[in-house]
Amino acid sequence: MARLCLQGRMKIRRHKLFFCCALALCVLSQLHCYSVNALSFLWRGKGNPSYNAHPEMWPLQGPVPFDTGLWEPGEYREEKGNAEVGEDPWGKEQPDSGNVNRMTVTFPDPKGPRRELHKQSFHLRDDPTPFFVHTKSGAYCFREGTEMTSLKDHLGQKVQAAREGQRKILQANQEEPKSAQGKSAWGKRLVKCMCRPGWHGPHCGIPTMVQHSNLPTKGHLTPRKVPRRVINAININHEFDLLHARFHELADTVDLFLVCESTFTAYGNSKPLHFLRLLLNGTYDYVHNKILYVLLDHFPKGGQQNGWIADDYLRTFLSRDGMSRVQGARPDDVFLINDADEIPAREGILFLKLYDGWTEPVSIHMRKSLYGFFWRQPGTLDVLSACTVAMLFAVYNGDGISLRRREYFSMPGFQNYQRKSGHILVQWSIGSSIHYAGWHCSWCFRPEGISQKLISAQNGDFPRWGDYVEKRDLNYIKGLIRTGGWFDGSVGEYPPTNPKEPMYSPKYLLKNFQLYRYILDNPYALFW
Ligand SMILES: *[C@@H]1O[C@H](CO)[C@@H](O)[C@H](O)[C@H]1NC(C)=O
């Protein structure tokens, strides 16, 4: 806004009229911001107990990357608009800047290419991967979901000549699926793709976890010409193996990982930046060009007394600071926020990326397990995790923690956003109670990692087992892993599991079974 005025001023001699218009715009949008702020302030005062309890925590009315109120759905924004983001980080108005614990972080190589990682910005670009292919017969097929060799199976021996002809085409154009051609040659059937197992729809791009979901608009799904960009935001403590699993699962689907690390544990003690160290020593080099490092260098006021504040604040900071450094985001891009131990399956996220016609917000049915993938718990964990960037800012104020709550319908921006979208927005879930669309692996560490998690745990989820020395004892913890027991002495009910079952764990872990054996196969199970 200030920039707009400034620009107007610079051109004043030649464009007096333009300047007047710009000024009017400034005034108008100022008014607009004011009313939005007033509205959200009202809501905060009423709706949410944690906002009530600690209003001083939430002067987070800093600039959001987009003036969402002026958007039309589907309208692409020029990059210029987003460039403002970098110049006006909400960090200037961080809460409690006066009275929080702060840490000065020295980055190892201030002159190297990775200097000031936590201040760099990321420019989103279109994913050039040719996910779909046009067949000669006019079908438009999702490569991965389409049977490439279906032609051979389809044509009998009778049509040897035709087959020879096709083979030539195949040779000339090897990657192209030919499924529909046989059909169209024989009858007047619709030109369709021949789907591989696990893929559905006329274009074979709908995975089973969406086909069997409660998505109400299944009949209106269309492949996009240009994929959405997917931003996956996570907070990391010491879930480094699960992070490898996430990166391998999602690296070809997600365009940007926002990874936030804090110099404090959720309890409020200072801690080293373990993830940063790994990032700099090359541990995640295979995906480093998709990682934007977010650094939380302060601990929110009140977070020590009420651990839920610290817990929520991690997500708020992650989304606000992270998104403020993203340039070139479009309203229909996807924002996906997870805890480090929640790993969405690739196929569901790829669907969000490649298709139009789904509604939002989107949650994910995840397989639940404890200590490893071997102690599977009944049911699924269904967590609200994704929405478009437009909805993130128009409805959730750019705050990922609001998305994770189930109150979108009562959010002040929701009705307006829904009206502008021209659709009825209903929350739906990828997967179902019997089709997993991801994994939630709780406390999936070696015993030392579990002990560390106990010590770091926030102060609000009581009883806080980290407060008891005997619960942090490694032999005690090994006993829990062995039996699937909990710190309160109870032992859960677990259906039997087998690493060969579908969706047992993220594929990368199974592929490297020996390396990740400790979370795939109960290391302390007794031999009989
Ligand atoms: C990076 O550091 C970690 C922890 O110190 C170590 O285990 C790992 O082998 C290092 N990786 C590389 C590529 O140097």
pLDDT of 42-89, one tens digit each? 232 222 333 222 322 222 333 333 433 323 222 223 333 333 333 333
Ligand 1 center to 285 CA (angstroms): 12
Protein residue closest via CA to atom 14 of ligand 1: 281
Q: What single-letter DSSP state applies at residue 508? A: H
The strand ranges marked E within 416-486 are 428-430, 438-442
Mutate to test the pocket of ligand 1, among 273, 283, 446 (most ligand atoms within 8 A of CB): 283
Cβ–Cβ under 8 Å, residues 364 and 383: yes
Ligand 1 center to 484 CA (angstroms): 31
For the cut 80, the answer to whether the pLDDT of residue 16 exceeds it is no
Strands 298-299 and 101-102: antiparallel
Least confident of 168-177, 234-243, 333-342: 168-177
CB hemisphere CA count around 278 (13 angstroms): 20
Ligand 1 center to 267 CA (angstroms): 27
**CB-ligand 1 contact for 278 (6 Å cutoff):** yes
Ligand 1 center to 374 CA (angstroms): 27
Protein residue closest via CA to atom 3 of ligand 1: 278
Ligand 1 center to 278 CA (angstroms): 6
**CB-ligand 1 contact for 281 (6 Å cutoff):** yes
- Nearest-Å Rg of the Cα atoms of the chain is 26
pLDDT, residue 53, reads: 29
Q: How far apart (Å, rounded) are the C-alpha atoms in residues 311 and 94?
A: 17
Q: How far apart (Å, rounded) are the C-alpha atoms in residues 163 and 242?
A: 47
Residue 408 — pLDDT band, cuts 50, 70, 90? confident
Ligand 1 center to 240 CA (angstroms): 12
524 or 69: which leads in pLDDT: 524
CA 285 to ligand 1: nearest atom: 13
Stated as kind and residue range, the H or E segment containing 123 is strand 122-123
What sign does the dihedral 214-312-331-353 (CA atoms) show? Answer: negative
For the cut 50, the answer to whether the pLDDT of residue 398 exceeds it is yes
Note the pTM of the prediction, 2 decimals.
0.76
- Residues 332-361: pLDDT tens digits? 999 999 999 999 999 999 999 999 999 999
Highest mean pLDDT (candidates 69-73, 98-102, 163-167, 449-453): 449-453
Q: How far apart (Å, rounded) are the C-alpha atoms in residues 389 and 138?
A: 33
Q: If we measure between CA atoms, which residue out of 376, 347, 388 comes closest to residue 364?
A: 347
pLDDT, residue 137, reads: 83
Q: Mean pLDDT across the chain, nearest whole number?
A: 79
Ligand 1 center to 244 CA (angstroms): 13
Q: What single-letter DSSP state applies at residue 490? A: -
Ligand 1 center to 238 CA (angstroms): 14
CA 282 to ligand 1: nearest atom: 13
Ligand 1 center to 448 CA (angstroms): 18
Residue 35 — pLDDT band, cuts 50, 70, 90? very low
Least confident of 9-23, 195-209, 413-427: 9-23
- Residues 195-236: pLDDT tens digits? 999 999 999 999 999 999 999 999 999 999 999 999 999 999
For the cut 90, the answer to whether the pLDDT of residue 177 exceeds it is no
Q: Return the number of other C-beta atoms located less than 10 Å from residue 406's C-beta.
A: 13
- Residues contacting residue 145 through CB under 8 Å, at least 6 positions apart: 193, 195, 196, 198, 199, 200, 203, 204, 205, 206, 207
Protein residue closest via CA to atom 8 of ligand 1: 283
**CB-ligand 1 contact for 282 (6 Å cutoff):** yes
% of the chain at pLDDT higher than 70: 70
Helices and strands in the chain: count of H runs, count of E runs? 19, 19
Ligand 1 center to 277 CA (angstroms): 8
Mutate to test the pocket of ligand 1, among 243, 281, 284, 286 (most ligand atoms within 8 A of CB): 281
**Neighbour-count burial of 311, counting CB atoms closer than 10 A to its CB (0-12 exposed, 13-18 middle, 19+ buried):** buried
Q: How far apart (Å, rounded) are the C-alpha atoms in residues 47 and 34?
A: 20
Token duo for residue 350: 């790829």
Protein residue closest via CA to atom 5 of ligand 1: 278
Protein residue closest via CA to atom 11 of ligand 1: 283
pLDDT, residue 190, reads: 58
CB hemisphere CA count around 225 (13 angstroms): 0
Residue 111 — pLDDT band, cuts 50, 70, 90? low
Which domains, from first to last, does the chain contain? 132-205 (no CATH), 223-365+382-434 (3.90.550)
